[in-house]
Amino acid sequence: MESSVPPAPALHQTYAEALPELSVPWRADVPPDPQLVWLDEELARELGLDPAWLRSEDGIALLTGQVEGTTAQAYAGHQFGTANPLLGDGRAVLLGDLVDPCGRRVDLHLKGSGRTPFARGGDGKAPLGPMLREAVIGRWLHACGVPTTRALAVLTTGERIAPRQGVTDEPGALLVRVAASHLRVGTFEYAAWHLGPEATERLVEHAIARHHPTADGPLGLLDAVAGAQAELVAQWMLLGFVHGVMNTDNMAISGEGIDYGPCAVLDAHRRDAVFSSIDRSGRYAYGNQPGIALWNLSRFAETLVPLIDPEDPNAAVERATAVLETFETRFLDAYARGLAAKLGIDGEREEVLGLGTELFALLEQQRIDHTGFFRALDEGRAEPLFAEQDPFVRWAARREEMRAAPAAPAGATPANPLYVPRNVHLDAALRAAHLGDLGPAGEMLEAVGAPFVRRPERAHLEGPGDGGEDFLTFCGT
């Protein structure tokens, strides 16, 4: 008789085998009492994993890192503009990679798994709130059609850990993350700074094979990553998403968003919006994100210069610079396409951008809610949002002249979500989880997983709530 028990997933160690000098074998701590808090069953099935098996003893062993071959990855990075030569997975391990039923190779990665050689004095643990925050943000971005890492599961460990903020201890937790890979700009910086051109060249070859197979050499990889990042950041800007800590070690070569720590979503539209408690200078403010993406890509380009033209560094810099100079156009192209969809208009790029510039000036002047405005525009009730009616009426007349966009293709992701991870509501859910009530976090995960469809029982999650403008987010590290 054939067994009805599904087999364990076949995990590979593709990265460690290709580039052994960029990681170290490392095993996750054994949690004293692991409990599954949330499992994304849809994602599990996409990966070819049985949700029932993941809840079994063997499944929990996988989700807590009690498997062979796990590694901690090495990388460097520029943090708030300052080079740090050694960062790495300080509280995380790469469980391995698997090939899903559609043939896509993805990483399984575990956060909060204990100290590693890269822990830099930390305890390697993670509190429940920030792990749930990353799960919520990744689920929302994915539902909005934005390339992103995603949480497969969140578990509590049965530990109480030292507080990351405040004075009371916190429930320890684990996040199991799915990513196209964990190759970062910081990975290339580590290879270039510590290992030299031969290792960097193998890293380039690995990145091309994994993510950008049509790229031709290091210059082609730079071009592909620049294009992917232009598309990604344009979508962040259109949704009003503020990553909060766009260090080079938090920019993925795949073009996915990664590492959602002190992130937030705009309530009132403000270019200078900063929510991260650690971004005291406003370096990673909402309106700065496209420029920071280009800055990070420039650091990426620097690691590739010795490979682009080993004989003539000046020529290599010129060729890399020519690629970087395409970023602004590519970003604006992506931004204009997305903005036209959000506004329901058609027109040349400069016309769309001009209309958007006028709109965002009005939203900022009158402190109009970013998400709420676009939904109200879809539903024909935007005008009452404005205290000063005449400027909006004139703007709306100009928009009406451009309303010739074709209908969205069947199956396309809608442009304007109703439910977003509002600062106040998400914080309340995370505080409730800290105190043992997981209901609000589950409700938030459910709402942002289907963000375009209004449900009467979720009406309290639609608006910004009180106090969101003065809200601070924390890394949880």
Question: Residues comprising the binding site for Mg(2+)?
Answer: 250, 259
94 CB-near residues (< 8 Å, 6+ apart)? 15, 16, 23, 70, 71, 72, 73, 107, 108, 109, 110, 182
Nearest Cα residue to 356 out of 329, 232, 370: 370
Q: Which of 40, 97, 249, 279 is catalytic?
A: 249
Buried b (16+ CB within 10 A) or exposed e, 91-128: bbbbbbbbebeeeeebbbbbbbbbbbebbeeeebbbbb
49 CB-near residues (< 8 Å, 6+ apart)? 9
What is the rounded distance in angstroms from the CA atom of residue 147 to the CA atom of residue 138?
Answer: 9
Binding residues: 88, 90-91, 111, 123-124, 177, 184, 250, 259
Give pairs for 338-341: CB < 8 Å, separation 24+.
338/234, 338/235, 338/238, 338/415, 339/238, 340/405, 341/405, 341/408, 341/415
Nearest Cα residue to 261 out of 277, 240, 237, 238: 277
DSSP string, 59-80: HHHHHTT-STT-EEE---EEET
What is the rounded distance in angstroms from the CA atom of residue 146 to the CA atom of residue 239?
Answer: 10
Strands 105-111 and 170-179: antiparallel
In the annotation, is 223 catalytic?
no
Note the helical H segments in 212-284.
Answer: 217-239
Which run of H or of E encompasses 110?
A: strand 105-111
What is the rounded distance in angstroms from the CA atom of residue 29 to the CA atom of residue 338?
Answer: 44
Q: Which residues are the active-site residues? A: 249
